Amino acid sequence: MKIKLEEIAKRSGYSIATVSRVLSGKAKGRSQSVYDIIHTARDLGYKINSNQYLNIDIPIDIALVAQHDAEEFYSCLYESFDRISSKMNIQIGIHSAKHSTNLVEQIRRISNSYDGIILMAPTLESKEYEIIGRKVKEYPFVSIAPVDGSILPTITFDSYEGGRLAGETLMNSGFKKFGVITGPMVKWEANLRKNGFNDFLRKNGFFVEWEYQGDYSFSSGEAALQDIKKNKIRDIGIFSSNDQMALGFLHTALENGMTIPGDFGIVGYDNMPYSKVFYPKLTTISTNLNLLAEATLDSIRSIIKSKSGKKTNLTTTLLPVEVVKRRTHIK
């Protein structure tokens, strides 16, 4: 449906001439009228060409579209993006794709109201990313989940290195047996973390003796403990692909009269706030969400403000991770 200038003028309260001047990119400087008209036009579904407004100091509108199943992690992620965006004259809109049945169509609709989209969709396959790219051609995108191949500009944490660091930490603590609680294997980062852990152990003459596939939830960590108990496994160093599963495992172990350190060692992933208040305090792989937010927002702002027609650089930037050693990795 074509949006008429008259409709935008009526909704915004400004004259048709003023609306026309703003939407043609002829307005200069920063004013409430420019801000009001652009946002009214977006709300009505008018497609805004951001390159027309490079000389106008108005906030950039970015959508963060995320599939999420680890609620605590995504809560922290949203908080970081909200905090950093407010310092960068960027307005961030949060859109959940957790229950989306047609993510491509959802993104196409969202793109009409925003200057760019940050996508956190770790279960998407390469062909689905390619479809998104074709459907919303030349639209500013940045992925913050690992992507297989050079399909979208990507800024994400080095999940493989995180797995390697977990293996190194447990081996250096003196463990000779090792296990892993993976995330859902449909997610790229879950595979990368597991592979980093396994490859490190193999290079040092060890291997994974026990594996449990979780779903990033606290309850799957509880179930992992029941599985290891049933198999009568002790004195093993375990890497959990996120903190929630690690704490579910830890909680259930203590309820069953087991000790950590003692019967098990465990290293989590993400360094969520609760990992340092749980007892014993969880050793974990730390990801700096503020750094992710700053790097991603800076990247997509640069893409939006680059000259139209300039080809986007489809590079992957891996952000560093580090071990935070507390108590649970000790043998």
In this predicted structure, what is the pLDDT of residue 135? Answer: 63
How far is residue 34's CA from residue 48's CA, in Å, rounded to a whole number? Answer: 13
pLDDT at residue 100, as a whole number = 67
Query: Distance between CA atoms of 223 and 231, rounded to whole angstroms?
Result: 13
pLDDT in tens, 162-213: 999 999 999 999 999 999 999 988 888 899 999 999 999 999 999 999 999 9
The secondary structure of the chain in percent helix, strand, coil, rounded to multiples of 5, reads 45, 20, 40
**Cα–Cα distance for residue pair 309/137, rounded to 1 Å:** 11
- Interior angle at CA 211, CA 206 and CA 217, nearest 5: 135
Supply the mean pLDDT for the chain.
85
Domain coordinates of the chain in residue numbers?
Answer: 5-53, 60-157+290-320, 159-287
Q: What is the pLDDT of residue 115?
A: 83
Q: Domain 60-157+290-320 sits in which CATH superfamily?
A: Response regulator (3.40.50.2300)
Residue ranges of the chain whose pLDDT lies below 50: 308-309
Cβ(72)–Cβ(44) under 8 Å?
A: no
The class of domain 5-53 in CATH terms is: mainly alpha
pLDDT of residue 309: 42
pLDDT in tens, 5-31: 888 888 878 878 887 877 776 666 556
Task: Judge contact between 309 and 49, C-beta under 8 A.
Answer: no
Superfamily grouping for domain 159-287: Response regulator (3.40.50.2300)
Domains 60-157+290-320 and 159-287 share a fold: yes
pTM: 0.82
- The whole-angstrom separation of Cα 100 and Cα 298 is 28
Token representation of residue 236: 């093993």
Per-position DSSP letters for 95-156, written without gaps between them: EE-TT-S-HHHHHHHHHTT-SEEEEE-TT--HHHHHHHHHHTTT--EEESS--SSSSS-EEE
